[in-house]
């Protein structure tokens, strides 16, 4: 099947219905698992044990090679649910916010960034759709400039996760979330777009009129051939911001002023030294 580029360049007319572009997160926007990416800072912050990290690494490995069937996925969901029980929500949010550039930036696909920019330029909202918890997804979506987030909602009591799940945004539930958001925002789903890599997201792709599979697993590639969905290859992870950011203008001006001051002091001292030598 040949790669088919989305046709997204035209900005809708003012009277046209509202539309959106729905992006799966893991292995579609980013070349990794968002949950696994934060294992190291969670360990350092005392939220995870070394045994937890090993179990999470195995789950990440199964996910990345695309071999997670429904039973394995359910076991991973149950494991992650029990894992976060008792975690302080604000502490998790702070860790994710502080480390999102370091841990997520290097894995963002350039092609996804370009598509997001293209959809925004065409007047569409961009929605990140993920099975990961909202506390993980929302900071990543903010960095990407997304307009909305559809993610798993964990039950919180007294500022801590209880281990219960209010809404598991996976499989059919992704389509449920998309239809709810579309009703609220008045999106025309027949003219909207969706992107994903996994056969488990077939319901999400079926919910819109313009569907594209990204680096699809075997099952999704077969489904795409049957449905006539476009196939895209994302291969270029990039950093969303330079590793060394330019200094703020005020800091640059301040540094320049300091440099001039030091030079003037040095010059005056040198003149005084010459005068003393001349007097001798």
Taking a C-beta distance cutoff of 8 angstroms, is the pair 24, 198 a contact?
yes
Calculate Rg over the CA atoms of the chain.
25
Catalytically annotated residue among 26, 105, 125, 201: 26
% helix / strand / coil in the chain, to the nearest 5? 50, 20, 30
Which H or E run includes 80?
helix 70-83
Burial track 1-16 (b if 16+ CB lie within 10 A, e otherwise): eeeeebebeeeeeeee
The separation between the first and the last C-alpha atoms of the chain, rounded to the nearest angstrom, is 91
C-alpha 190/C-alpha 45 separation (Å) is 45
Which H or E run includes 126?
strand 125-133
* Catalytic annotation present for 26: yes
Taking a C-beta distance cutoff of 8 angstroms, is the pair 179, 207 a contact?
yes
C-alpha 125/C-alpha 58 separation (Å) is 35
* Catalytic annotation present for 197: no
Catalytic residues: 24, 26
């Amino acid at each position: 099947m040949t790669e088919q580029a989305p046709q997204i360049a035209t900005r809708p007319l003012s009277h046209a219905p509202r539309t959106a572009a729905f992006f799966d997160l893991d292995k579609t926007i980013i070349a990794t698992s968002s949950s696994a990416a934060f294992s190291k800072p969670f360990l350092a912050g005392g939220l995870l044990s070394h045994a937890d990290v090993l179990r999470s690494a195995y789950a990440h490995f199964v996910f990345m090679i695309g071999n997670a069937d429904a039973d394995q996925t359910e076991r991973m969901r149950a494991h992650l649910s029990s894992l976060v029980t008792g975690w302080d929500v604000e502490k998790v949010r702070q860790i994710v916010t502080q480390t999102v550039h370091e841990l997520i930036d290097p894995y963002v696909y350039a092609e996804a960034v370009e598509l997001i920019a293209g959809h925004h330029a065409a007047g569409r909202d961009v929605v990140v759709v993920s099975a990961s918890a909202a506390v993980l997804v929302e900071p990543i979506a903010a960095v990407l400039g997304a307009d909305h987030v559809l993610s798993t909602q964990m039950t919180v009591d007294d500022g801590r996760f209880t281990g219960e799940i209010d809404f598991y945004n996976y499989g059919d539930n992704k389509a449920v979330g998309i239809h709810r958001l579309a009703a609220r925002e008045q999106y025309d789903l027949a003219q909207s777009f969706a992107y994903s890599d996994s056969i488990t997201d077939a319901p999400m792709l079926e919910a819109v009129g313009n569907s594209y599979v990204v680096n699809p697993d075997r099952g999704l590639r077969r489904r795409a051939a049957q449905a006539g969905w476009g196939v895209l290859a994302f291969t270029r992870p990039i950093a969303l911001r330079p590793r060394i950011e330019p200094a703020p203008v005020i800091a640059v001006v301040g540094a320049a002023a300091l440099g001039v001051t030091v030079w003037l002091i040095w010059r005056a001292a040198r003149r005084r030294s010459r005068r003393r030598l001349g007097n001798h």
